[in-house]
Chain A
Amino acid sequence: MSLNQLSALEVAARVRAGELSAREALEASLAQIHAVDGQQGSLEQKPLDPSEEQKVHAFIRLTEDLARQQADEIDRKLSAGEDPGMLAGVPVSIKDIFTLQGIETTAASRILWNFKPPYTATSVQKLIDAGALILGKVNLDEFTFGSSSESSAFKPAPNNPWDPSRVPGGSSGGSTASVAAEEVALSLGTDTGGSIRQPAAFCGVVGVKPTYGRVSRYGLMAFSSSLDCPGPIARNVSDAALMLQVIAGNDSKDSTSSVVPTSNYLDALKEGVKGLRVGLSPDYTHLFYPDFETGELAMESIQKEISDSVQHAASVLADLGAEIVENVPLPNAKYGIPTYFVVSRVEAASNLHRFDGVKYGYRTPVEVDDLQDLIRRTRAEGFGSEVKLRILMGMYLSSEGYAANYYQRALKVRAMIRRDFDCAFDPHGEHRLDVILTPTTATTSFKRNDVFGNTVRMQYSDQMTVSANHAGLPAVSVPGGLDADNLPIGIQFIGPDFREDLILRAGYAYEQATLDEAWRSVRPAVLRQEVAK
């Protein structure tokens, strides 16, 4: 097994034991990036060699120098007998929405093409402090606005390592692609409506959206402040638990970050699922899609192989001693996307006000003598279409005369979505669930340009994930099989507030019980080619 296939836990254990130097781990990771990543995302429209079609393109920017310094520091600490940290020598990529002091942080947008923040995001700093090697910044949908990573202003956008003609999902598509392609062991992503879990499902990796407030948002460029959650992306549940352990906790720089103590997530994995009450909901077997002319909602079934995987996972857990509780009603989940359209757009429009060409980032090169002109042109040239769309929608939905019907109403529907979960998890209620098991997505990965441009269809890609964001609950997507096209399927566990330990336990139990299933030996296409070479 090559070094790059090792889990983060294994790398850290070997580095800490002196069996592997951080520098070796780093060079192996860089070699893999050079082998499979291809041309990095860039604002210049460079002509692409056809061979680039088969590459991953996860990265926007490599931070080799920084990573080498970090590796040398870890190796120095080891030889000095100091503790190099829980993630010593583990290669990590960072979604380019988190600030890292002195390193360009672009949000995959032209408007921040040259922005070098003088501050580091708390979660990134915690990774660094734990000894992780920051290999670079990975691509995403512009400002995280999307579910395919195709809206990035930095082209080429990332491909799905399982089928490079398909999208990795999004918005943390560069993160999940870099982990799936074994370029790094871990990646830091963000999840606002499903942006960690949906691409994790599409790329066959584990993605955790922690409870709102469990991981600090400081240094995460805001999309929708009341929904955004930084979280771990890894190739297995233990690594995700390890990374969560590092980044979780209260932060005095984020008022919404929680003072609830963190658990020991790694230890919790071992507790198994015996006696755990696992819910299945009929409201997660289909989605309601609007007719654009009549507004009527039509029911669409989810991909059969995905519902089969969920059923299979339920039976695996039942065999391990979990109690499966069927027919748990979550009736308001079907309003998740309409509610999200409102809440996230209103907050996004406001959060993006600050990009005006006055203080940092892009400013129109056109000579203007009026400030309003400068701001309009800067934003017109600096933002991509999807960003403009979200700003306009947010302006509309929060403007006087519309806000009462839309924004205020959406906040109430959001409360109803939350109440459904409260009932399901109520320890004295009818269902008394520990976790809820659902599909992560309604389909597996789609072809590039198939959905991109149809912004409603793209948004409905988050139908199964978005309700956990509305409710603030923790949720994890774990690989649950492959479909007929050898594309990964994700299954999701949703848990009560701050019970990341429960969803990780369930995910881990399922993962360990299915290690021998045939699909697990199938490798992503880009890695199969690599072997063939």
Chain B
Amino acid sequence: MSISKISSELFHKLVGLAALELTAAEGAYLLTEMNHQLSSVNALLQVPLEEGIQPTLHGIQCLGAGPRADAWQPFPTPGEILAGAPETEDGMFAVPDVKGAK
């Protein structure tokens, strides 16, 4: 069985997409582990899928209460949400600007 591996190039693209930064050592370790995991995951490609099998999201058939009524119930302490922010200004969450729009 041939094994497809994640290339270093693809790996670095993924690191960017995931909004991460890695040291060289961490990157090397994680790429190795990803490829090891992929050797397990690739077993899926060999599974003979039963005909007509539909994908399942929860395994079980969920029996929920259904959508809620459209009734306003304000959260009592929105101020606490803002209070937990690393930086705020004028009642707003503050972050540096987005630079270098692609």
Contacts and interface: CB of A to CB of B under 8 A. Distances in A.
B60 A391 contact: no
Contacts of B14: 392, 395-396, 399
B8 to A, nearest CB: 13
A391 B56 contact: no
A295 B42 contact: yes
B40 A341 contact: yes
Contacts of B36: 290, 292, 455-456
Given A341-B40, A418-B59, A363 B87 contact: yes
**Interface footprint category on B:** 35 or more
B85 A118 contact: no
B91 interface: no
B64 A256 contact: yes
Contact of A388 (B20, B39, B93): B20
A412 interface: yes
A395 B18 contact: yes
B30 A118 contact: no
Contacts of A358: 85-86, 93, 95
A45 interface: no
A116 B80 CA distance: 9
Interface string B1-42: 111001000110011011111100010011001111101111
Interface in A473-516: 473, 497
A226 B80 CA distance: 29
Contacts of A396: 6, 10, 14, 34
A450 interface: no
Interface stretch (A151-159, A197-205, A366-374): A366-374
Given A335-B47, A388-B30, A213 B62 contact: yes
B53 A412 contact: yes
A43 interface: no
Given A259-B65, A360-B85, A395-B14, A389 B40 contact: no
Contacts of B43: 288, 290, 295, 297, 335, 338
A389 B30 contact: yes
Nearest to A409: B44
**Interface footprint category on A:** 35 or more
Contact of B57 (A257, A341, A411, A413): A411
Contacts of B87: 363
Interface stretch (A169-177, A306-314, A375-383): A375-383
B98 to A, nearest CB: 5
Given A252-B68, A342-B44, A380-B21, A389 B34 contact: yes
A379 B64 contact: no
B64 A258 contact: yes
Given A212-B60, A213-B63, A409-B44, A388 B22 contact: yes
A371 B34 contact: no
B32 to A, nearest CB: 9
A337 B39 CA distance: 11
A279 B1 CA distance: 34
Nearest to A214: B60
A292 B35 contact: yes
B62 A295 contact: no
Contact of B60 (A377, A393, A419, A471): A471
Nearest to B1: A295
A171 B80 CA distance: 30
A377 B22 CA distance: 9
B95 A258 contact: no
B54 to A, nearest CB: 6
Nearest to B48: A416
Contacts of B18: 349, 379, 388, 391-392, 395
Contacts of B77: 118
16 contacts: A118-B80, A256-B64, A258-B62, A288-B43, A290-B42, A335-B43, A339-B44, A360-B86, A371-B96, A371-B97, A405-B45, A411-B55, A456-B39, A469-B59, A472-B60, A473-B60
Given A337-B40, A392-B30, A406-B44, 13 more contacts: A212-B59, A213-B58, A290-B36, A357-B95, A368-B96, A371-B96, A379-B21, A388-B20, A391-B18, A415-B59, A456-B33, A471-B59, A473-B59
